[in-house]
Chains A and B, each alone.
Chain A
Amino acid sequence: MADPIHQFQIVNYFSLGKIGSVNLAFTNSALYMGIAVGIIAALMLGATAQRQLVPGRMQSIAELAYEFIADTIRNTAGEGGMKFFPLVFSLFMFILVSNMVGLIPYNFTVASHLIVTAALAVLVFLTVVIYGFWNNGVHFFKVFVPSGVPVLILPLVVMLEVFSFLIRPVSHSVRLFANMLAGHITLKVFAAFVTMVGGLGIVGWIGATLPLALTIALTALELLVAFLQAYVFTILTCIYLNDALHPGGH
């Protein structure tokens, strides 16, 4: 029986050269990132190649995605947040499409590796910190001082705020990673039950329908989780960017 962890194996396809002792290889992870970017580019460019006042099917998908993310940014970070639209939209589409591609059997899920989600989360964190200081200067520290807190407990609150600010990239990245990892392991464990029970003969075939039905139901659930986690990552990005745009506004 293939173990459920096997699907997360990184395979080197070919080497692109060496930097020090690090082998810079083109892996299956890189391939599936490329596939995700290719699908997004094809969808967006194909949808907007022949623009019409009354949108067709493809154009409707692109417009829906645009409006969905634009509304999310306007509601959480205000009108000023729209200057980060390209970043937020790219993050959402990349995570959504790579999750969806990963749900197809035999395909690799990019977000099931902590290093990928950590890179995305650190990108957001550094964007918030750098833009926050560039936009507000020293006033950015107001992020750590909530208004309307009694002076007596202020030091404690500030300490907690600093801690929760620094822990953000950890929870931001581990959330996506853990959800993808756990979901895919569960799927494969239930799929393995089908072959295990089905191997028992005629009685096993009847028994195997139960885990098979569960696998289908779990796939539907994973489809929801794939979208929900992409959206959660996006909305948290917007909320963090809101801190950089309006520090002390909470």
Chain B
Amino acid sequence: MDPMAAKYIGAGIACIGMGGAGVGVGTIFGNYLAAALRNPSAAQGQFGNLIFGFAVTEALGIFSLLIALLLLFAL
């Protein structure tokens, strides 16, 4: 196979990992919303935890994006 083509295919495959991060971020915000509707008074206090969980989950999606960008532009 043409190595350039293999690079582009690899970058595309690497981006599939971001789907997992999407599932994770959706789970976090969905559960936060569900819990916030059950107990709205406690929701404000957990906003920091929400953002932290979001950031940590999103980091994994960012790693796959990083691999895709490295494949496209650096390697």
**Chain A residues with a Cβ under 8 A of chain B:** 72, 75-76, 170-171, 174-175, 178, 228, 231-232, 235-236, 239
Q: Known: A72-B48, A75-B48, A76-B48. Is A232-B62 also a contact (CB below 8 A)?
A: no
The 8 Å CB contact of B55, one of A75, A170, A235, is A235
Interface flag for B52 (CB, 8 Å): yes
Say which residue of B51, B59, B65, B66 sits within 8 Å of A231 (CB atoms). Answer: B51
The answer to whether A235 touches B62, judged by C-beta atoms less than 8 angstroms apart, is no
Q: Does B32 contact A (CB under 8 A)?
A: no
Q: Does B63 contact A (CB under 8 A)?
A: yes
The interface residues of chain B lying within 8 Å CB-to-CB of A175 are 55, 58-59, 62
Given known contacts A72-B48, A75-B48, A235-B48, A178 and B55 CB-to-CB distance under 8 angstroms: no
In the complex, chain A residues whose CB is within 8 Å of the CB of B48: 72, 75-76, 235
Inter-chain contacts of A231 with B (CB < 8 A): 51
- Are A174 and B62 touching (Cβ within 8 A)? yes
Can you add 18 more A-B contacts, CB < 8 Å, to A171-B63, A235-B55, A236-B52? A72-B48, A75-B48, A76-B48, A170-B66, A171-B59, A174-B62, A174-B65, A174-B66, A175-B55, A175-B58, A178-B65, A228-B51, A231-B51, A232-B51, A232-B54, A232-B55, A235-B51, A235-B52
Cα-based distance from A171 to B66 in the complex (angstroms):
9
Contact sample, A vs B, 24 pairs, CB 8 Å cutoff: A72-B48, A75-B48, A76-B48, A170-B66, A171-B59, A171-B62, A171-B63, A174-B62, A174-B66, A175-B55, A175-B58, A175-B59, A175-B62, A178-B62, A228-B51, A231-B51, A232-B51, A232-B54, A232-B55, A235-B48, A235-B51, A236-B52, A236-B55, A239-B52
Report Cα–Cα, A75/B47, bound state, in Å: 11
In this complex, which of A75, A76, A171, A239 has the most chain B Cβ atoms within 10 angstroms of its Cβ? A171
- Closest A-chain residue to B50, C-beta based? A235
Assembled-state Cα–Cα distance A186/B51 (Å): 24
CB of B59 to closest CB in A, whole Å: 4
Q: How far in angstroms is the closest Cβ of chain B from A74?
A: 11
* Closest beta carbon of chain B to A111's beta carbon, Å: 14
**A231 to B51 CA separation, bound complex (whole angstroms):** 9
Q: Which B residues are in CB contact (< 8 Å) with A72? A: 48
Alpha-carbon gap, A237 to B65, bound state (A):
22
Q: Which residues of A contact B58 (CB under 8 A)?
A: 175
B60 and chain A: residue at smallest CB distance = A171
Q: What CA separation (Å) do A231 and B48 show in the bound complex? A: 10
| Complex Cα spacing A235 to B58, Å | 14
- The CA-CA distance from A174 to B63 in the complex, in Å, is 9
Residue on A nearest B66 in the bound complex, by CB: A174
CA distance A235 to B59 in the complex (A): 14
- A228 to B59 Cα, complex, angstroms: 15
Q: Which of B49-75 contact A (CB under 8 A)?
A: 51-52, 54-55, 58-59, 62-63, 65-66
